[in-house]
């Protein structure tokens, strides 16, 4: 991947965001309970679908030519590429154009890259995020200053394995599949960035949940609401961002599991599912 550093482009300093619990924030708990995909489509810009793939060769820091192009709409038949040329390097480039639905310049936009498990170079609107390696802790970038509401371009560049002739497009298709899990997430300015939940003291009467806010952006004022499977409120209260919040969950016939914990701020709600056995996980794209 060192060869990728030779490609000239405009540079910006996008903000890398530390690894966090994987969750998708909702506007509020009422939207979560509406089972509407309209909100998902509004909050998340999924970068799946039609990616254009290009095999490129570079020489003395300049792109020489596009050797071969393929999109998902093309057949994956035999392709002959003569990639052995001294002094030149070969790379796969994947590009997609996208719009942000209901773009709001008062919000932040984060590019989630956790679906790609290898180093690559990524550019948004021809501005570089430099070398990205998702085997490390970074899975998201704040790309707010890099994007617009319409006609955005994202490009992913990886090294193409050295070979004399590529008889088919299997490797190109495999690399393209990795692009399908990328998405851009809209976030409120005042938000919980990361949190931790620990289950303590499980017995026949209930369990104790300990909630700790680990990282915030802006100045959110968080609170919580615990409901049972029938959406009946069991407990609600404020969350102190500077200390652990303990929440006791009683077991009774009136409150069947699983339990839902809403962690709320003014503009976002994080939803966490809790089972009787203490197993718990954040709700992501579907519920």
pLDDT tens-digit map of 47-60: 887 888 887 766 54
pLDDT in tens, 69-83: 444 444 444 444 444
pLDDT band at 169, cuts 50/70/90? low
Q: What is the pLDDT of residue 50?
A: 80
pLDDT band at 172, cuts 50/70/90? low
Name the burial class of residue 32, with classes exposed (0-12), middle (13-18) and buried (19+) by CB atoms within 10 angstroms of its CB. buried
Domain ranges of the chain: 2-26+37-187, 191-278
**What is the rounded CA–CA span in Å between residue 193 and residue 215?**
5
Cβ–Cβ < 8 Å for 270, 195: yes
Please report which residue ranges of 141-230 form alpha helices under DSSP H.
Answer: 170-179
Quick one: tokens of 45?
A: 């810009």
pLDDT band at 140, cuts 50/70/90? confident
Quick one: tokens of 13?
A: 């300093």
**What is the rounded CA–CA span in Å between residue 150 and residue 211?**
39
Mean pLDDT to the nearest integer, 118-140: 77
Quick one: tokens of 144?
A: 């707010």
Name the burial class of residue 238, with classes exposed (0-12), middle (13-18) and buried (19+) by CB atoms within 10 angstroms of its CB. exposed
Q: Which of 222, 189, 180, 26 is nearest to 105 (CA)?
A: 189
Which residues sit opposite 235 in a β-bridge?
A: 226
- Mean pLDDT score of the chain: 76
Q: Which of 236, 226, 241 is nearest to 193 (CA)?
A: 241
Q: Both ends of the chain: CA-CA distance in Å? A: 39
Higher local confidence (pLDDT), 261 or 46:
261
Q: What is the pLDDT of residue 250?
A: 84
| Domain 2-26+37-187 belongs in CATH node 2.130.10 | no
Q: Which fold has domain 191-278?
A: Immunoglobulin-like (2.60.40)
pLDDT band at 254, cuts 50/70/90? low
Q: Is it the case that residue 38 has pLDDT exceeding 70?
A: no
Distances (CA, A) of 110 to 199, 239, 276: 30, 25, 34
Which residues sit opposite 25 in a β-bridge?
A: none
Angle formed at CA 15 by CA 10 and CA 16, multiple of 5 degrees: 110
Q: Torsions phi, psi of 245, nearest 5?
A: -105, 120
Q: Report helix, strand or coil for 29.
A: helix
pLDDT in tens, 182-237: 899 999 999 998 999 999 878 878 899 999 999 999 999 999 999 988 888 999 99
């Amino acid at each position: 991947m060192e060869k990728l550093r030779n490609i000239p482009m405009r540079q910006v300093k996008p903000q890398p965001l530390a690894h966090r619990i994987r969750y998708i924030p909702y506007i509020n708990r009422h939207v979560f309970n509406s089972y509407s995909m309209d909100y998902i489509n509004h909050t998340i810009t999924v970068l799946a679908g039609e990616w254009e793939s290009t095999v490129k060769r570079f020489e003395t820091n300049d792109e020489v030519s596009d050797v071969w192009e393929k999109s998902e709409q093309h057949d994956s038949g035999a392709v002959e590429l003569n990639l052995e040329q001294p002094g030149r390097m070969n790379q796969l480039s994947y590009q997609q154009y996208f719009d942000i639905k209901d773009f709001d310049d008062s919000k932040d936009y984060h590019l989630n890259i956790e679906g790609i498990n290898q180093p690559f170079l990524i550019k948004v609107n021809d501005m570089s995020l430099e070398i990205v390696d998702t085997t490390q802790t970074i899975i998201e970038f704040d790309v707010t200053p890099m994007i617009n509401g319409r006609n955005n371009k994202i490009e992913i560049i990886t090294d193409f394995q050295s070979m004399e002739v590529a008889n088919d497009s299997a490797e190109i298709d495999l690399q393209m599949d990795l692009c399908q899990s990328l998405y851009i997430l809209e976030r409120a300015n005042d938000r919980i960035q990361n949190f931790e939940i620990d289950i303590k003291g499980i017995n026949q009467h209930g369990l104790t949940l300990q909630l700790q806010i680990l990282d915030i952006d802006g100045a959110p004022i968080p609170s919580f609401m615990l409901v049972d499977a029938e959406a009946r409120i069991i407990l609600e209260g404020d969350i102190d961002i500077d200390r652990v919040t303990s929440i006791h969950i009683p077991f009774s016939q009136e409150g069947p599991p699983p339990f839902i914990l809403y962690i709320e701020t003014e503009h976002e709600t994080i939803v966490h599912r809790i089972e009787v056995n203490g197993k718990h996980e954040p709700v992501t794209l579907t519920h």
